[in-house]
Amino acid sequence: MSQLSALGVADADLTPRLKFVNILPSALLLTVVVSLILSGAPAHAPALDRLVDNARSYGWPGAVLASVGALVSGLLLQPLELASIRLLEGYVSSTGPLGPLARLGTWVHANRRSRLTWQHDHLDYGDPRAESARFRLTHMPHRAPVLPTSLGNRLRAAEERAGRPYRLNALLTWPRLYHVLPAEVLQTVSRSRNELDTAARLSLSFGLTSVVTTGLLLNHAWWLVLPLAFAVLSWFAYRSAVHAATTYGNTIAAVVDVYRLKLLREMRIALPAGTEEERVLNGELTALWSRSDEEPLPGPVKYDTGSEDSGSS
């Protein structure tokens, strides 16, 4: 019986998402920290011969224990996956320890949006600065308040953009649309989401590794290059997450464009005759989906009692 099955975890349970989004970042942090401790930190400057001697003394039991530790850490951190992504998006308490940084980030991005809006509205058509402002404004929310981070603003802008031509609320529509999508479309969506989550979790892992190794190497000046390197890797991973968020947002917008009518068919709602009628219908559905239990039902939605056809739009 393998160590994995002894823990009640089969190889089939370790999906690619679990491996790359949770186990890989945990294993990275654990490997670096354990290696530094075995090489003498924080009491001594890390030394390769000390690392090799200590590793040999622990032998296979130590290697197995470290592997199990990485696996268990990844499994325990899986429920915190959404919370970690929300942290990078900037959803933090204004009264918490990160509150001052969040307020600073919000001020920076709000001023950036104002400057880009002014350039877009007042510069001559064809001016490269106006074109650049227009492009950069597509990655920032228009109606909603800005968030403290670029990642959060990219995803919030994508939420606004998806379904906007049809007056659909993406946050309300997507959980319902997801259940009627074909398997190949779900694979494309999952691949985009996995790329975003992997980059975000690696950014957090590199950043946490930088902080921990700084504490272990604080008394060994030349070795502080290592936590600096991890800080740089954290920044690059974060930028990758920002670009992955753009791809993910574009994917969601395209899926809503193509399959929104399939959702209506599956709900047995009569298809609208044109765009304006569809927008009115979507407004009624949004009111229905967003109402509280105490609120009265919105106006009636016309249901299709005819064909059972549920093909894609």
Assess whether 85 and 203 both reside in one domain.
yes
Residue 300: pLDDT above 90?
Answer: no
The reported pLDDT for the residue numbered 303 is: 63
Assess whether 134 and 173 both reside in one domain.
no
Assess whether 262 and 217 both reside in one domain.
yes
Assess whether 180 and 265 both reside in one domain.
yes
Average pLDDT over residues 51-70: 71
User: Which range is least confidently modeled, 120-129, 162-171, 269-278?
Assistant: 120-129
Assess whether 133 and 270 both reside in one domain.
no
Q: How confident is the model at residue 253 (pLDDT cuts 50, 70, 90)?
A: very high
Assess whether 254 and 156 both reside in one domain.
yes
Assess whether 191 and 67 both reside in one domain.
yes
Assess whether 160 and 204 both reside in one domain.
yes
DSSP state string for the chain: --HHHHTT--GGGS-HHHIIIIIHHHHHHHHHHHHHHHTTTTTS---HHHHHHHHHHHHHHHHHHHHHHHHHHHHHHGGGHHHHHHHHHT---TTSTTHHHHHHHHHHHHHHHHHHHHHHHHSPTT-HHHHHHHHHHTTS-SSSPP-SSHHHHHHHHHHHHTTGGGT--HHHHHHHHGGGS-HHHHHHHHHHHHHHHHHHHHHHHHHHHHHHHHHHSTT-GGGGHHHHHHHHHHHHHHHHHHHHHHHHHHHHHHHHHHHHHHHHHHTTBPPPSSHHHHHHHHHHHHHHHH--TTSPP-SPPPBP-S-------
* Residue after which a domain boundary falls, among 129, 148, 167: 148
The reported pLDDT for the residue numbered 201 is: 86
What tens digit of pLDDT does each residue of 213-245 get? Answer: 999 999 888 999 999 999 999 999 999 999 999
Write down the pTM of the prediction: 0.79
Assess whether 167 and 156 both reside in one domain.
yes
Residue 25: pLDDT above 70?
Answer: yes
What tens digit of pLDDT does each residue of 29-48 get? Answer: 878 888 888 888 888 888 88
Assess whether 153 and 232 both reside in one domain.
yes
Whole domain around residue 239: which residue ranges?
Answer: 3-90+149-288
Assess whether 164 and 227 both reside in one domain.
yes
Q: Please provide the average confidence, as pLDDT, over all residues in the chain.
A: 81
Assess whether 8 and 111 both reside in one domain.
no
Does residue 231 lie in a domain region?
yes
Question: What's the domain count of the chain?
Answer: 2
Does residue 308 lie in a domain region?
no
Most confident of 60-74, 117-131, 209-223, 282-296: 209-223
Does residue 297 lie in a domain region?
no
